Structure 1
Amino acid sequence: MLGKSLLVFFAAALGAAGCSDGAGEGTAVQTSPLYNAPIDTDHPFDVGVCAGRLNTDPKYGEIGSCAGPGLGVPGGFNIRASGTLVAPNLVLTARHAFRKLEPPPPTPFDCSYGLGAMWFPEDGIRITTTHSTIVDQPTWIKVEKIIEPAGNFGCTDDLALLQLDHDIWDVEPAWVDLRHDLGTSPPRDGKLAVVGRGAVAPTDLGGLLRRYQRDMSFTCAKAPCELRYPFDGQTLSLQIRDGMIAFGAGLLGGDSGSGVLLNESFDTRPTVVGVSTISLRTEKGFPVHSVGIALHPHREWIARAAREAARAGHYRAPRWARDCADGTDGTDETALDDRP
């Protein structure tokens, strides 16, 4: 584990304690869901992501689950993260779970790192809509391919889409808003929400159950904006750039890849406007600020990937993916109608 002066924790979960991992070497990564958040039973669009082998040893937990220590730990074999089902065969998540960070983020943290070589485990990547990745016998769906944006900047391009090997029709996907620029149009109620699958505290996995946190204060989504926080007797800061989203404390390791949702529509039509990627914490691991990646700068890439996934799944692409950037309807007539 890195020295305590590195206060940024990326969300891919690698076992019960913080550790460096093969996909994010040089970063401190801890396993933990939304901090002190209640269990979520209403939003199964939030999925658990498991990269690497499923458990075959009962001393690590349930057989067939994503239990056990993570990569970089002796005997470790998996990475756990969150994702959002945005179409029947498409999951939106954080890219750093599958890419090595090059160079590793500096100490104190800033945005000078990039996303390097792809890490696609021999045992594959899979997702589950079951409420936990490590208990209650989760069922798994294989990821057929990872789709990435062209950019390679860690703080603003940390997005990935996972195309599944078959469609999911028993879960309603989350709605996606590719036009909402929080930097120029902040949430009307000043709040955001997140549904994630991390741990409940820095030292408590909490079963990696799906949990939600609403009424999280929106901070900013546009430069110049600076997050300041105490750490080991110092005051440190992170400069927010255009394309980043800063909001209230709550993310812990394992929440990476969870959708950043508009709080005002959370009860009626959960709407994704970003992806959670970074948690700024105190030296004892308690969250102070949450950071995510905005979707609107990547709208053309996301919409195109969604239309291609619809063709592969033989369903009509979601309406949010058929609208062109200029506001005209870009319906793909080669895709079939939505299934019942």
Structure 2
Amino acid sequence: MADSTARAGSVGAQFVALAIVWGASFLFIKVSLEGLSPAQVMVGRLALGGIFLAAVMLATRRRWPRDVRTWGSLAVISVFLCVAPFLLYAWAGQYIPSGLSSIYNATTPIAALLVSLIVLPDERLTRARTAGLLIAAVGVVVVAAPWSTVGEAHGGPLFLAQLACLGANLCYGIGFVLSRRLLRTNRYDPTTIAAGQIVLAAAIGLVLAPFIGGFEPVLASPSVVTGLLALGVIGTGLAYIWNTRVIAAWGATAASTVTYVTPVVGVILGILVLGETIHWNEPAGGLLVILGILISQGRLTPRRPGRSASHDADRRPERTSP
């Protein structure tokens, strides 16, 4: 009894740590941008995360995938789940507050649902999903506040930065669908898949670096180095392990509730650490987005007899880091 209680407490602690780390990732991005270009932030976090996960593979004596098909699938997936969204969020971080980025990141499940409805033949647009999508869309408009004059000093970049966040989430949605289709029959555990994905993403990022500003001058201050280390080792490396353990212990349904906590952490840290300001429309829109997600996933309606939580969990995309 004591052992099971201790294990439950350990999983709960990892869930809390995961919410804090992924919520703080937007703060780490903002701090890293003080001395690095967006491309350098993307490549740096992937390289550090890849090194960490490769060390975990070595320490746990896991075997890397050996078939070309798995590596090819991981290469495609890594572009949409890592390289593209990491670069887009880093670019957006130059122009919008970290807290606002974290709120936009909460729309990831909606983006995944939209892509799955378009691509996967077994997905259907139910009344609940339609209502959830519409409410979430209203939430995004409220967050963006097209009627507001806030940020006029940045002009176009402010608007483009918000589009970049939504584009990153669309990449996540595509990546989720590709993961379901390309890796459905793989025989490797989640840690091995995560390690292969991050290592390949780092390699792709390094290849792209010369063409996207990866070799610009670097101002490696202590805060910049600390921010990148936290973003890479903890937010891109260790967090994957925590997420895997929480899913194994609680199931994907319960584990995915971290989506609702990370924006709160991101907004609070942005205010406390960076002195960012928040406007009424941002949390209000974020709440509408979360409400839309809950409705689209059927969490606010009574479960029909014979429909298990595991069934819903199998159909729901996994969460990824920001």
State TM-score, norm by structure 1: 0.26
Highest Rg: 1 or 2? Answer: 2
Comparing both chains, which one has the higher relative contact order based on Cα–Cα distances under 8 Å and sequence gaps of 6 or more?
2
Q: Which has the higher strand share?
A: 1
